[in-house]
Amino acid sequence: MYYHNILETIGNTPLIELKSFSPRSGVQIFAKMEGVNPSGSIKDRIARKMIEQAEAQGLLHTDSILLEPTSGNTGVALALVAGMKGYRFTAVVSEKGTQEKRRMLELYGADVILSSGAAGSNGAIRLAQELVQQEKRYVMLFQYGNLANAAAHYETTGAEILHDLPDVSVLVAGLGSGGTLTGMGQRLKEHSPAIRVVAAEPMQGESIQGLRSLADGFIPPVLDQSLLDDKMLITSQQAWLRTLQLRKQEGIFAGPSSGAVLDVALRVAEHMKQGKIVIILADGGWKYLSEQNWTMHMANDPVSAVLGAAL
Ligand SMILES: Cc1ncc(COP(=O)(O)O)c(C=O)c1O
């Protein structure tokens, strides 16, 4: 068996049981490994879907330049898919993003425009909106408002979970654009309304790359909040400690948003007698190698003394 090109390898990611995190027999936690997608994150799914939908709608021409405000993963994914389909791509990235992500964008052939770090990801969105007004060749697919974002998860991520684990009882995913929670949430609840959908959201003022706080004022139009049964808040420290623990206990090297969803899943699991929780690990740890956070939290926290032995 072989694939005809790299884009065909998007999706169908492995689902792995995290046995060591189960609080009691009968409660199982499974991780969907989105870091194994070709550009390294869950965003390959939506990049392919959004570009193919825009092509089908006749929005893309040979001189079109795709433009997207992105904290990194969506940009790298769009750079991959655009490049394979022969389109130019420009990413508007907050200065706060990691060097690795910016470097990856450039290596995938994207042009990068930096927006002010102080204005965060909302600043990148505002700048991209201004640029689209100024240059006709720019086409912004805008993941935050594009229904193809959620549709990609309805058609692929959600369908894969139901195929692999039809008796899933809870989904926990991070809240960024809201595409994952909305698309998967719709698909799972159609299968069984009893399936609970829980969002992991950073506490206001806490930075967890890829995730956003709704309290900052921007509610992504693609997010359907009526599908959320619960929303739990996390600090950056909780996310990083769980990310380290995941590496130590299960050998999974994931990014910090994965630690955030794991923390939320463990809180949910605590109150369950039995059931199956699926968590979405949106990317791997590779793009965050330069982060000080891997070691920073260890000095002060009692849990970190244990985790310290892992490094
Ligand atoms: C690392 C990471 N985790 C989680 C998310 C959240 O996914 P979504 O945008 O579908 O809400 C993102 C989105 O950018 C991400 O980059």
Within a domain: residue 1?
no
Last residue of a domain, one of 80, 107, 140: 140
Among the candidates 85, 118, 140, a domain finishes at 140
Contact 281, 37 (CB under 8 A): no
Residues 76 and 60 in one domain: yes
| CA count, 13 A, side-chain hemisphere, 166 | 2
- Do 56 and 110 belong to one domain? yes
Q: In this structure, are 81 and 220 located in the same domain? A: no
Q: Residue 254: beta bridge partners?
A: 284
170 and 21: one domain? Answer: yes
Task: Divide the 311 residues of the chain into consecutive groups of 10 and give the mean pLDDT of each group.
Answer: 97 98 98 98 98 97 94 91 97 83 90 88 89 96 96 98 98 98 98 98 95 92 98 98 97 98 98 98 93 72 50 44
Task: Reply yes or no on whether 43 is catalytic.
Answer: yes
Which sign, positive or negative, has the C-alpha torsion 210, 215, 216, 217?
positive
Question: In terms of domains, do 162 and 18 share one?
Answer: yes
Name the phi and psi angles at 15, rounded to 5. Answer: -115, 125
Pair 161, 264 in one domain = yes
Residue 275 lies in a domain: yes
Q: Are residues 178 and 286 in the same domain?
A: yes
- Work out which ligand 1 atom sits closest to the CA atom of 256: 1
d(CA 11, CA 158): 11
**Ligand 1 cavity residues, CB under 6 Å:** 41, 71, 73-74, 174-180, 209-211, 255, 257, 282-283
Give a yes or no: residue 147 inside a domain: no
Q: Residue 311: what pLDDT?
A: 44
- Around Cβ 83, how many Cβ atoms within 10 Å? 15
67 and 90 housed in the same domain: yes
The CATH code of the domain that includes 107 is 3.40.50.1100
Q: 86 CA distance to ligand 1 centroid (A)?
A: 25
Residue among 196, 199, 229 at smallest CA distance from 214:
199
Residues sharing a CB contact under 8 Å with residue 2, sequence separation 6 or more, in sequence order? none
For residue 298, the model assigns a pLDDT of 55
Question: Does 88 fall in a domain?
Answer: yes
Say whether 257 is catalytic: yes
What pLDDT is recorded for position 296? 79
Question: What's 20's DSSP letter?
Answer: G
Whether residues 17 and 107 share a domain: the answer is: no
Measured from the Cα of 255, ligand 1's closest atom is 1
Q: Are residues 164 and 254 in the same domain?
A: yes
Token pair belonging to 2: 């072989």
Q: Which two tokens stand for residue 36?
A: 């194994």
Q: Can you give the pLDDT at residue 60?
A: 97
Cβ neighbours of residue 286 under 8 Å, at least 6 residues apart?
A: 35, 40, 100, 253
Residues 84 and 164 placed together within one structural domain of the fold: no
Provide the domain count of the chain.
2
Give the structural domain span for 126.
Answer: 43-140
